[in-house]
C-alpha cells in the first residue's frame, strides 16, 4: 500500500540545486543551461533551484541571474518548478532581485539569511518579512549558518511561518531537533540541502530535497523517496546507502559541491563548464575519484534501471 508524501508538496519533492553552466571562456551558457535543465527534469527532478550556492550566485551578475531564470523556465515549462535564488547580504538588493526573478518567470524564491554582517534574530526576521511582502511569489528560507554565520533560530522560524508567502525551508542547519520542532508546529515544507540526510528528513515529515548531487544522479536520488512513498522503506534505505560513496566524494572530501558537480558533468560530456574564481576546478586525481564513485553507483550498460518512476539516464 502506498502512502502520500508526509509534507505538503508545494514545489515538488525532488529538487536539484542546479549548477550555472558557463562557456569555456567563462560566459553564461544559456543553451547549456536549457539542455541540463531538460535532462534533470527528464530524469526525475520536479523542481530546479537556480542561483543558489551550487549555482555560484556570488559570482553571477543580476542580469545573468534573470537571463538564467527566463531560459530555464522556457525549457521546462510546467514540468517542474523554477526556484530562483535571490539572497544577498543587503535587504534592498534582495528585494530588487526578488522582483526581477518574479518578472523573469520564477515560480518561487530561495532567500538566504543575510551573510557577513551577522544580524541578530529580530533583524533576520525583518529581512525575510520585507522580501515576502515585496513579491507575490512564495519564499523558501535558506538556513545555512555554516556559510552565512547566522542561524534562523527555530523560534524565529515559527514566527516567520505565519506569513502566507513563507512556505518552505531549505535546511542546512544540521539541527534535527530544531527542524522537528518547527515541522511539528507549522505547515512549512522542509527540504534538506544535505544529501546525506535525504531519507532521514523525509522519514520524519520533510517535503523532499534540494540536492547538489542530483546534478549527476537525479534518478537515483528520486528513487530514494519514491521507494519510501511506496512503503518499501528497506529499499529506500538501500538506495540512500548506495549513494553515500558519491555523496561523500562530492560533498565531504574538501572541495565545494559546485566544483565536484562541474567536474563530473564535464567528464560525462554534460553542460556545466568551468567554475568562476575564486573557485578553482578539480584536479585530475580528484576528478578520477569522483568518476570512480559515480561509476560504482550508476547502472552498467544492459543492467536494469534503479527502482524509480523514471530511469536514471546519467550518461544521456
Q: What is the pLDDT of residues 51-84, one digit of tens each?
A: 999 999 999 999 999 999 999 999 999 999 999 9
C-alpha 164 chain-centroid distance: 22
Catalytic residue selected from 65, 142, 190, 294: 142
Q: Which distant-in-sequence residues (6+ apart) come within 8 Å of 131 by Cβ?
A: 86, 91, 94, 95, 98, 109, 111, 139
Q: Which domains are delineated in the chain?
A: 14-231 (3.20.20.70)
Catalytic status, residue 65 = no
Instruction: Tally the C-alpha atoms within 13 A of residue 205's C-alpha that lie toward its C-beta.
Output: 15
Average predicted confidence (pLDDT) for the chain? 92
Quick one: three-class SS letters along 254-314?
CCCHHHHHHHHHHHCCCCCCCCCCCCCCCCHHHHHHHHHHHHHHCCCCCCCCCCCCCCCCC
Q: What is the pLDDT of residues 153-204, one digit of tens each?
A: 999 999 999 999 999 999 999 999 999 999 999 999 999 999 999 999 999 9
Helices 121-134/91-104 angle, 10° precision: 30
Rounded to the nearest 5 percent, the helix, strand and coil shares of the chain are 50, 10, 40
Residue 286: strand pairing partners: none
Rounded distance, CA 129 to CA 133, Å?
A: 6
Distance CA 163, CA 138 (A): 10
Q: Which of 65, 115, 170, 202 is catalytic?
A: 170
Backbone phi and psi for residue 81, each to the nearest 5 degrees, phi listed first = -75, 150
From CA 40, how far away is CA 46, in angstroms rounded? 8
pLDDT score for 4: 41
In the prediction, which pLDDT does 9 show? 53
pLDDT tens figures, 284-315:
999 999 999 999 998 543 333 333 333 333 32
Cα 90 from chain centre: 22
Write the pLDDT tens digit of every residue in 104-122: 999 999 999 999 999 999 9
User: Read out DSSP for 37-70?
Assistant: HHHHHHTT-SEEEESSTTTTGGGS-HHHHHHHHH
Q: Which long-range contacts (CB under 8 A, 24 or more apart) does 285-289 make?
A: 286/253, 286/255, 286/260, 287/263, 289/249, 289/253
Amino acid at each position: 500500500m502506498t502512502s502520500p508524501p508526509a509534507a505538503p508538496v508545494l514545489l515538488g519533492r525532488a529538487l536539484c540545486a542546479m549548477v550555472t553552466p558557463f562557456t569555456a571562456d567563462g560566459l553564461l551558457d544559456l543553451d547549456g543551461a536549457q539542455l541540463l535543465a531538460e535532462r534533470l527534469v527528464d530524469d526525475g527532478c520536479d523542481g530546479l533551484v537556480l542561483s543558489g550556492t551550487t549555482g555560484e550566485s556570488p559570482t553571477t551578475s543580476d542580469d545573468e541571474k534573470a537571463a538564467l531564470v527566463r531560459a530555464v523556465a522556457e525549457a521546462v515549462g510546467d514540468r517542474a518548478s523554477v526556484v530562483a535564488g535571490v539572497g544577498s547580504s543587503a535587504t534592498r538588493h534582495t528585494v530588487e532581485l526578488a522582483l526581477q526573478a518574479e518578472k523573469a518567470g520564477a515560480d518561487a524564491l530561495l532567500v538566504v539569511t543575510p551573510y557577513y554582517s551577522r544580524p541578530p534574530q529580530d533583524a533576520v526576521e525583518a529581512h525575510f518579512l520585507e522580501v515576502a511582502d515585496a513579491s507575490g511569489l512564495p519564499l523558501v528560507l535558506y538556513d545555512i549558518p555554516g556559510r552565512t554565520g547566522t542561524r534562523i533560530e527555530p523560534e524565529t522560524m515559527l514566527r516567520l511561518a505565519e506569513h502566507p508567502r513563507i512556505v518552505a525551508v531549505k535546511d542546512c542547519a544540521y539541527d534535527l531537533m530544531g527542524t522537528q520542532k518547527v515541522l511539528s508546529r507549522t505547515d512549512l515544507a522542509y527540504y534538506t540541502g544535505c544529501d546525506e540526510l535525504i531519507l532521514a528528513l523525509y522519514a520524519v515529515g520533510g517535503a523532499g530535497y534540494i540536492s547538489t548531487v542530483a546534478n549527476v544522479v537525479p534518478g537515483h536520488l528520486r528513487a530514494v523517496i519514491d521507494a519510501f512513498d511506496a512503503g518499501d522503506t528497506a529499499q529506500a534505505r538501500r538506495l540512500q546507502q548506495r549513494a553515500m560513496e558519491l555523496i561523500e566524494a562530492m560533498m565531504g572530501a574538501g572541495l565545494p559541491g559546485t566544483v565536484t558537480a562541474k567536474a563530473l558533468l564535464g567528464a560525462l560530456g554534460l553542460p556545466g563548464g568551468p567554475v568562476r574564481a575564486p573557485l578553482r576546478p578539480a584536479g585530475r586525481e580528484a576528478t578520477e575519484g569522483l568518476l570512480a564513485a559515480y561509476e560504482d553507483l550508476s547502472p552498467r550498460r544492459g543492467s536494469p534501471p534503479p527502482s524509480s518512476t523514471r530511469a536514471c539516464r546519467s550518461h544521456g
